[in-house]
Chains A and B, each alone.
Chain A
Amino acid sequence: MIKKCVCALLALVCALPLAGCWNYRGLDEMTIVVGIAVDKDDESGEYEISFEFVDLAKSTKDEGPKSKVIKSNGKTIFDAVRNAKKQVANKLYMGHAQLIIIGEKVALDEDIRAILDFFMRDGEYRETIHVSVSQEDSAADILDAEATDLTIVSMELVKILETDNKVTSSTAHRGLYEAYEIIKTDGTELVLPAIRLIKEGNESTCEVNGIAVFKEEKLVGYLSAEESKYFLFAYDDVEGGVITFPSSGEGEDDTTLEITNSKTSRSVVNKDGKPSVSLKVEMEVFLNEYAKPDSKFTTDEIAKLEEIAAKKTGEGISALIKKVQSEYGSDIFCFGGLVNKSDYDMWEQVKDDWESQFKQLEVQVEVKVNILNTAYLISK
């Protein structure tokens, strides 16, 4: 009998540590943060961090989850994070945060490595959290905006970023750990998605607007959505989207191709001891919009269209690379990394002054477009 009692007692005692609940925290004791905006106050020089968190009290089954935004100041980022506790009953829980928006001013003035370092170091943030840059004066404005089809701005933006290169190919998304890896690697520079507001009367909604270009740890400029598409072609990250071009070869764009598959082969050629990069884009497309309903689609006509589309895309990519080389001088295409990985001996020679080498780097672009079908209409 005594033995049984002892056994039962032991089982009970064992159950306590096995549950692993040294400090149990229920859902009602958490404030679940989904988005974080990092700004800096000009006057005090303090960090101003805004948190968008799920408002559990207002979320209903019919209308979906609601969110609220709070702002807090601090001398460092973590100080500001902790100071937010002064305004809310429960400690902020970051495990579900999905988006970090860095304000333009912070990106221009501060060392982004320090910001990435903080979020990587702290255990609560996911390594896959998306990092982006706000084109507005303050990143907090983005979180204050109205969401369009979802109810929480951060979640909407994350969804936009994640599906972008399959549908529009207008920006590049980077997870926290990827951004951290890129910024520490030689021969490549960081790009982050740029976000801006669209104002209509009193209401404002947010939009992903191309790419923010970094050089080492500082923001140096932006690429438009169109340029970003060419960037993605050069980076081999296009999975969808459209290309438009004039069907006659000049004038206004009147024809649209929908990309269904695209592959860019990037290789390094040794040219008199200097590296030169060759990009071969090959994409498969559907013809989805055509402004000359009378014309017939013969193989010759299709071949002509393919050629025009290829030419326009190729020129776009070359122009973008030239622009980045001359204006930003930042190797966002990872050409240095390409040289490093494919021809290490050459990289050893050029890596010390890669910055100037990159500006003079010769890049050859070849584009091949294969029109697979003309969708529903034969157009005879």
Chain B
Amino acid sequence: MKKEKLTARQTITLLTMFFFGSTGVLGVNTDVGQDSWLAFLMAAAIAFPFMLMYSRLCRLYPDKSFFELAESLLGKVGGKIVVALLTWYCLHLCSLVMRNFSEYIQVCTMPETPQLPVMLFMMLGVVYLVKSGVETMGKWSVLMLPLIVAVVILTVLFALNRMDFSRLLPIARHDLGSMANSAYYSVMFPYLEIIVFVCAFSGSSETEKPYKPYIAAFFVATALMLTITLRDTMILGAHVLDALNFPSYVAVKIIQIGEVISRIEGSISMNYILSGIAKCSVCLLAAAKGIAYLFGLREHKQFLFPLGLLVVALSTIVFDNLIQMFEFIQVYNVYSVPFSIIIPVLIWILAEFKHRKESKAQTPANTQA
């Protein structure tokens, strides 16, 4: 079987969409009002070493998938446990994202449409996308990311007459504690969710330097999310921003230039759902690969459809309502620590040791030859 691979460019676009994913509609944490963007920058700074860590992992073992790496480092039993945990995490995250988007659609655009059909049709698209293969996903994201970037830039330009730069003042007047707390939210979500992307794609990158795209995607996504945070703050003001469930949608709703360009939120914010589909499909792919790996199967595609249905079923029961969804973010910050910090860091440290041992073993051999 030919191993499907992503090119460097596809990795960048898909990972950018993955990061942008639900943050595009939910917005970043706004506990610190007009300083939210600063807190977000702080989060990016904290998350950056993790990007380096994943890049390093890719450089050490470019051909191995994350699951294979886990098993080779932790042994058969330990490896399987880690893979099982990560698979659950990917599956759960997929249903959380799915639910975010269906709630978003219900609150903002289609209040009278039940959520289940929305989720089902979205999931059908996701399953079809993933089933078409990694390459198709990559190509799709290369096509779609420019659309999202264009929408972000357009909304910023259209909203210039509604923006008030003084809404960002006074700058950096929240104490470090609350800033760090707000930053922590953004570190866990979306940055450290990159582990899901790594599970789905590590070992299937085509380029010589598989670590470079991670850093590039990190910067593009950070710029995008920073832009929407600044845009929302300058249009809405700190208090409205904090009061809204979906600030980006409302910020776009306010755009009005003359009589012609107004009420564009429906057509524009729907584009953000594309990045939701990207995120869901990456999660689903990672989960399917995890299941296939657990049972020692080479082919993961037959799991996609049942897993997709499972995700839809799961996402209908993860929360009872929107209030729970937003409260869960606090739980999520603790809940995701083992998956997105402990396991990856552990594997990285072990991989470093192993790599050192191997290269030591190799060096004498080289000198002999």
**Complex contact B170–A340 (CB within 8 A):** yes
A189 to B131, CA, bound (A): 57
Closest beta carbon of chain A to B57's beta carbon, Å? 41
| Complex contact A123–B110 (CB within 8 A) | no
B108 within 8 A of A: yes
A293, CB-defined interface residue at 8 Å? no
CB distance from B260 to the nearest CB of A (A): 15
| Contact yes or no, A341 B112, CB < 8 A | no
Q: How many residues of B contact A (CB 8 A)?
A: 23
Contact A180 B243 (CB under 8 A): yes
A293–B236 CA distance with the chains assembled, in angstroms? 51
Q: Which residue of the partner chain B has the closest CB to A17?
A: B121
B residues less than 8 Å from A17 (CB atoms): 117, 121
**Residues of A contacting B253 in the complex (Cβ-Cβ under 8 angstroms):** 126-128
Which single residue of chain B is at the shortest CB-CB distance from A117?
A: B243
Instruction: For the complex, give the distance between the alpha carbons of A20 and B113 in Å.
Output: 9
A181 an interface residue at 8 Å Cβ cutoff?
Answer: yes
- Say yes or no: is A148 at the interface (Cβ < 8 Å to chain B): no
A22: chain B residues at CB < 8 Å are 110, 112-114, 117
* Cβ-based interface call for A177 (8 A): yes
Task: For the complex, give the distance between the alpha carbons of A22 and B117 in Å.
Answer: 10
Expressed in whole angstroms, the Cα–Cα distance for A294 and B173 within the complex equals 61
- Closest chain A residue, CB of each to CB of B34: A341
When C-beta atoms are compared, the residue in chain B nearest to A96 turns out to be B263
> Smallest Cβ distance from A265 to chain B, in angstroms?
13
Whether A341 lies near B117 (C-beta < 8 A) is no
Closest chain A residue, CB of each to CB of B173: A344
Which of A20, A123, A181, A344 is in CB contact (< 8 Å) with B240? A181
Confirm or deny: B239 has a beta carbon within 8 angstroms of a beta carbon on chain A: yes
Known: A126-B253, A177-B250, A180-B243. A341 touches B166 (CB 8 A): yes
B241 to chain A minimum Cβ distance, whole angstroms, is 9
Residue of B at shortest CB range from A341? Answer: B169
B173 near A177: Cβ-Cβ < 8 Å: no
User: Smallest Cβ distance from B261 to chain A, in angstroms?
Assistant: 13
The answer on a CB contact under 8 Å between A123 and B111 is yes
Tell yes or no: A58 within 8 A of B by CB.
Answer: no
CA distance A347 to B173 in the complex (A): 11
Q: Say yes or no: is B181 at the interface (Cβ < 8 Å to chain A).
A: no
- On whether the beta carbons of B112 and A23 are closer than 8 Å, the reply is yes
Residues of B within 8 Å of A20, CB to CB, are: 110
Tell me the chain B residues, 94-153 only, with Cβ under 8 Å from chain A: 107-108, 110-114, 117, 121
Main secondary structure of the interface of B (DSSP, over half): helix
| Per-position binary interface string of chain A over residues 51-95, scored 1 when its CB falls under 8 Å from any chain B CB and 0 otherwise | 000000000000000000000000000000000000000000000
Give CA–CA (A184, B108) in the complex, Å: 23
Cβ A184 vs Cβ B111 within 8 A: no
- Separation in Å of the A6 CB from the closest CB of chain B? 15
Contact of A127 among B110, B113, B254 (CB under 8 A): B254
* Binary CB contact string for chain B from 254 to 287 against chain A (1 if under 8 A, 0 otherwise): 1010000000000000000000000000000000
Chain B residues whose CB sits within 8 angstroms of the CB of A340 once the complex forms: 169-170
Query: Is the Cβ of B254 less than 8 Å from the Cβ of A185?
Result: no
Q: A181 contacts B112, CB within 8 Å?
A: no
CB-based contact A181/B173 at 8 Å: no
- Flag A179-192 by CB within 8 Å of B: 1 or 0 each: 01100110000000
Given known A20-B110, A340-B170, contact A185–B237 (CB-CB < 8 A): yes
A242 sits at the interface (CB 8 A) = no
Q: How far is the CB of B172 from chain A (nearest CB, A)?
A: 9
Tell me if A30 is interfacial: C-beta within 8 Å of chain B. Answer: no
A180 adjacent to B250 (CB under 8 Å): no
Q: Contact: A341 with B170, CB < 8 Å?
A: yes
In the complex, which residues 205-246 of chain B have their Cβ closer than 8 Å to any Cβ of chain A? 236-240, 243
Contact A177:B169 (CB < 8 A) given known A20-B110, A23-B112, A123-B111: no
Is the pair A123, B108 in contact by a Cβ cutoff of 8 Å?
A: yes
Which residues in B have their C-beta under 8 angstroms from that of A185? 237-239
Contacting pair B237 A181 (CB below 8 A): yes
Q: Which residues of B contact A184 (CB under 8 A)?
A: 239-240, 243
Q: From residue B151, how far is it (CB to closest CB) to chain A in Å?
A: 18
Complexed CA–CA distance, A181 and B239 (Å): 6
Which residues from chain A contact B240 at a C-beta distance below 8 Å? 120, 177, 180-181, 184
Interface residues in A322-353 (C-beta closer than 8 Å to B):
340-342, 344, 347
Q: Which residue of A lies closest to B270 (CB)?
A: A20
A120 B243 Cβ-Cβ under 8 A: yes
Give the residue of A123, A126, A180 whose beta carbon is less than 8 angstroms from that of B239. A180
Q: Closest residue of chain B to A120, judged by CB?
A: B243
Q: How far is the CA of A184 from the CA of B33 in the complex (A)?
A: 12
Q: Which residues of A contact B121 (CB under 8 A)?
A: 17
Complex CA distance for A17 and B120, rounded to whole angstroms: 11
Assess whether A123 is in contact with B107, with CB atoms less than 8 Å apart: yes
Residues of B161-180 whose CB lies within 8 A of A? 166, 169-170, 173
> Beta-carbon contacts of A115-127 to B below 8 Å, as 1s and 0s?
0000010010011
Cα distance A187–B111 in the bound complex, in angstroms:
37
Interface positions, chain A 122-145, Cβ under 8 Å from B, are: 123, 126-128
Kindly list the 6 A-B residue pairs having the minimum CB-CB distance in the complex, ordered from nearest. A184-B239, A181-B237, A341-B169, A22-B113, A344-B170, A17-B121
Q: List 9 A-B contacts (CB under 8 A).
A: A17-B117, A123-B107, A177-B236, A177-B237, A181-B239, A184-B240, A185-B237, A342-B169, A344-B170
Binding site for A on B (CB under 8 A): 107-108, 110-114, 117, 121, 166, 169-170, 173, 236-240, 243, 250, 253-254, 256
